[in-house]
């Protein structure tokens, strides 16, 4: 059976005191037992989050990592550094990393391999841009993004992969994919995994939706049969909104 997951991607937000307040507010809420809750703070707040969330079942996730283990890569962080502070999950392939920091499929492939060989879980993001949606190219784009980065991996790796469909046109825009558009893509992706691997692997993989999820639309989106949760940006910065979203299952 696959996990339901709601993860908050804080992006470059929340300093030390904002992090402390937000985490303490989350801790005082009722955490559902059937949903994995995750927060992805900036690198500088990972340790604080780990400490504050010790003895809860909210997981701490890194937003990025470098594919190399160590060396002359100023400003970068490796999988072993994350593992050293018991951060065992990392987001790879976010559209902001692709578009602002020029991360190509080749770079993402190396990062995924590095994270998996360090025994980390990977939340792998993919999704089409607006013009690709309008041109009806979105299945092809998503197919390529997954094929180029993930489909060479041995099947045994897939137990450590979580997918996040994030149509770029819905990120931070207030415009959300409809529940039908999300479900349609998630089913397409699950079928791709079945065709490239197996029915069992496709049924066990959690596929999250991301892009302007908020308390008012979470329930409807999560109702999709192949939608196993969400990767939440803006709304995860507000404790009440994030709590409402992860309570929407």
Nearer to ligand 13P, 13 or 196 (CB): 13
Q: 32-44: buried (b, 16+ CB within 10 Å) or exposed (e) per residue?
A: beebbbbbbbbbe
Nearer to ligand 13P, 201 or 228 (CB): 228
Contact pattern for ligand 13P over residues 208 through 227, marking x by CB under 6 A: --xxxx--------------
Residues 6 or more apart whose Cβ sits within 8 Å of residue 40: 7, 8, 9, 10, 60, 61, 62, 63, 91
234 counts as binding ligand 13P under rule CB under 6 A: yes
* Choices 16-24, 30-38, 137-145, 207-215 (CB under 6 A): range interacting with ligand 13P: 207-215
Strand partners, 66: 78
Catalytic pick from 103, 132, 166, 186? 166
DSSP state letters, 3-59: PEEEEEE--S---HHHHHHHHHHHHTSPPPTTEEEEEE--GGGHHHHHHHHTTSSEE
Nearer to ligand 13P, 211 or 229 (CB): 211
Whether 186 is catalytic = no
| Phi, psi for residue 101 in degrees, rounded to 5 | -110, 15
233 counts as binding ligand 13P under rule CB under 6 A: yes
Nearer to ligand 13P, 114 or 236 (CB): 236
231 counts as binding ligand 13P under rule CB under 6 A: yes
* Choices 52-60, 137-145, 166-174, 189-197 (CB under 6 A): range interacting with ligand 13P: 166-174
Applying the rule CB under 6 A, the residues between 168 and 197 that interact with ligand 13P are 171-172
Nearer to ligand 13P, 120 or 171 (CB): 171
Min dist CB 154 to ligand 13P, Å, is: 27
| Phi, psi for residue 154 in degrees, rounded to 5 | -65, 150
132 counts as binding ligand 13P under rule CB under 6 A: no
Which of 4, 9, 66, 201 binds ligand 13P (CB under 6 A)? It is: 9
Coil, strand or helix at 2: coil
Whether 94 is catalytic = yes
Which of 103, 128, 132, 166 binds ligand 13P (CB under 6 A)? It is: 166
Closest CA to 165 of 191, 136, 189: 189
| Torsion of the alpha carbons at 126, 123, 58 and 115, rounded to the nearest 10 | -150
Question: Of all residues in this chain, which one has the CB nearest to ligand 13P in the complex?
Answer: 233
The beta strands (E) that lie in 103-242 are given as 121-126, 161-165, 207-210, 229-232
User: Which stretches of the chain bind ligand 13P, using CB under 6 A?
Assistant: 9, 94, 166, 171-172, 210-213, 231-235
Task: List, by residue number, the catalytic residues.
Answer: 94, 166
């Amino acid at each position: 059976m696959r996990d339901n997951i709601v993860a908050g991607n804080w992006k470059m937000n929340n300093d030390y005191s904002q992090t402390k307040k937000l985490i303490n507010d989350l801790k005082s809420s009722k955490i559902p037992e059937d949903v994995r809750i995750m927060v992805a703070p900036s690198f500088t707040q990972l340790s604080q989050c780990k400490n504050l969330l010790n003895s809860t079942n909210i997981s701490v996730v890194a937003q990025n990592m470098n594919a190399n283990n160590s060396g002359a890569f100023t400003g970068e962080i490796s999988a072993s550094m994350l593992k050293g502070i018991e951060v065992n999950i990392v987001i790879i392939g976010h559209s902001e990393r692709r578009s602002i920091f020029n991360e190509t499929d080749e770079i993402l492939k190396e990062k995924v391999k590095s994270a998996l060989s360090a025994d980390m879980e990977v939340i792998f993001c993919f999704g089409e841009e607006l013009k690709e949606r309008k041109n009806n190219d979105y299945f092809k784009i998503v197919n390529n993004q997954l094929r180029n980065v993930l489909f060479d991996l041995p099947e045994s790796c897939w137990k450590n992969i979580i997918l996040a469909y994030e149509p770029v046109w819905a990120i931070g825009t207030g415009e959300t994919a409809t529940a039908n558009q999300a479900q349609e893509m998630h089913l397409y992706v699950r079928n791709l995994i079945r065709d490239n691997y197996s029915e069992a692997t496709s049924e066990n993989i959690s596929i999250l939706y991301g892009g302007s999820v908020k308390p008012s639309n979470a329930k409807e989106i999560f109702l999709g049969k192949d939608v196993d949760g969400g990767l939440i940006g803006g709304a995860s910065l507000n404790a009440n909104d994030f709590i409402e979203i992860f309570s929407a299952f």
